[in-house]
């Protein structure tokens, strides 16, 4: 008789790989209450190597956001490869992220309140980062970009988009990019107040550029023929803005109104994040008996695959 493997007998990294496809809410409120083995898997690093809470963070109270980021980054146990979060207001949280960034490759922190000073202090901890998004971070400037370029030697992608209503020149930022980030392949600097001369310096220094986004950079005048002859592999967007630089992605949250209601309905995963202790990320103490959820639906796979039984795994509960 063929032996059937139980879901709760899967090794934690296999469970973590499966659970990583679930929503943040499901991983924090549903999975831990199914059984002890699932709680252990979702409390460990396997589910948190890639953390994307950007949508949720845009609608969250700052103190809640700080606690959530700290909890999830701590759970990654140094294996964090990707972090996407918006509107960080606490510089100590950025420092906490940097301290746990030994494996971090993609870091997206748009709209955050980080400063030049804290970036200069912590940039050395971000040496493995290859893609960075610091768009709309109004409190950083050339000093931060110089520090990032100095320490992030593998950086190939930078997003430094700004708001159309900006008044401060980014000439010094363009110079920092040109002198410190020669390996860039993708550079987004929409609505930067910069000049043609500065952009040409970037092009002459960053010879591997494949995409340059200049939408909304009205003072930049590049000759199309010149660009095609000198940089045949380069795609330049702008400065003409045809689609409002996809600002709906950032500023129009009407399409997420239902999602926002769902997130706030679970009230920040009850009291678990409110009471989170950085020195104790174990939730084993909450278990006296296994909890069964009769109508649990787990969306592990896209589409139906009737032959999954060949691996000896039962269908998801």
* All residues at 6 or more sequence positions from 275 whose CB lies less than 8 Å from its CB, including other chains: none
CA distances (Å), 155 to each of 105, 110, 140, 161, 277, in order? 9, 17, 18, 17, 33
Helix or strand or coil: residue 281?
coil
pLDDT tier, 219 (very low <50, low <70, confident <90, very high otherwise)? very high
Burial class (CB in 10 A: 0-12, 13-18, 19+), 313: middle
CB 77 within 8 A of CB 55: no
DSSP string, 258-271: HHHHHHHHTTTTTT
- Within the chain, residue ranges assigned H as helices are 12-19, 24-25, 36-43, 54-57, 62-76, 91-99, 116-122, 142-151, 171-180, 196-205, 224-230, 248-251, 257-265
Residue 256 has pLDDT above 60, yes or no: no
**pLDDT score recorded for residue 7:** 56
CB 75 within 8 A of CB 279: no
Residue 160 has pLDDT above 80, yes or no: yes
What's the pLDDT tens digit per position in 269-283?
A: 434 444 555 554 443
- Within 90-245, residue ranges assigned H as helices are 91-99, 116-122, 142-151, 171-180, 196-205, 224-230
**pLDDT score recorded for residue 259:** 40
pLDDT tier, 8 (very low <50, low <70, confident <90, very high otherwise)? low
Mean pLDDT over the full length of the chain: 78
Residue 99 has pLDDT above 50, yes or no: yes
pTM: 0.74
What is the average per-residue pLDDT within 156-182?
93
CB 315 within 8 A of CB 306: no
Residue 27 has pLDDT above 70, yes or no: yes
**pLDDT score recorded for residue 11:** 67
> Considering all CA atoms of the chain, what is the largest pairwise distance in Å, rounded to the nearest integer?
75
pLDDT tier, 248 (very low <50, low <70, confident <90, very high otherwise)? very low
**pLDDT score recorded for residue 299:** 38
């Amino acid at each position: 008789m063929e032996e059937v493997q139980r879901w709760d007998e899967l090794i934690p990294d296999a469970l973590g790989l499966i659970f990583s496809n679930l929503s943040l809410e499901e991983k924090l409120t549903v999975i831990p209450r199914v059984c002890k083995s699932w709680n252990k898997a979702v409390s460990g690093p396997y589910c948190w190597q890639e953390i994307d809470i950007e949508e949720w963070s845009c609608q969250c109270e700052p103190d809640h956001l700080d606690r959530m980021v700290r909890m999830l980054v701590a759970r990654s146990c140094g294996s964090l490869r990707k972090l996407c979060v918006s509107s960080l207001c606490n510089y100590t949280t950025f420092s906490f992220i940097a301290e746990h960034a030994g494996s971090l490759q993609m870091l997206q922190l748009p709209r955050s309140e980080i400063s030049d000073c804290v970036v200069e202090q912590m940039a050395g901890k971000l040496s493995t980062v290859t893609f960075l998004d610091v768009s709309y971070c109004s409190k950083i400037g050339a000093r931060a970009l110089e520090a990032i370029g100095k320490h992030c030697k593998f950086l190939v992608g930078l997003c430094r988009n700004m708001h159309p209503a900006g008044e401060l020149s980014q000439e010094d930022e363009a110079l920092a990019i040109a002198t410190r980030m020669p390996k860039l392949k993708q550079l987004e600097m929409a609505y930067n107040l910069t000049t043609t001369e500065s952009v040409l310096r970037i092009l002459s220094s960053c010879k591997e550029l494949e995409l340059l986004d200049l939408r909304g950079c009205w003072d930049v005048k590049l000759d199309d023929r010149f660009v095609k002859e000198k940089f045949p592999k380069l795609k330049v967007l702008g400065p003409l803005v045809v689609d409002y630089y996809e600002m709906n992605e950032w500023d129009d949250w009407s399409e997420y109104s239902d999602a926002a209601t769902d997130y706030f309905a679970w009230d920040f995963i009850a009291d678990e994040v409110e009471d989170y202790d950085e020195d104790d990320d174990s939730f084993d103490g909450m278990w006296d008996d296994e909890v069964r959820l009769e109508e649990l639906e787990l969306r592990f796979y896209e589409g139906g695959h009737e032959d999954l039984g060949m691996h000896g795994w039962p269908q998801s509960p």
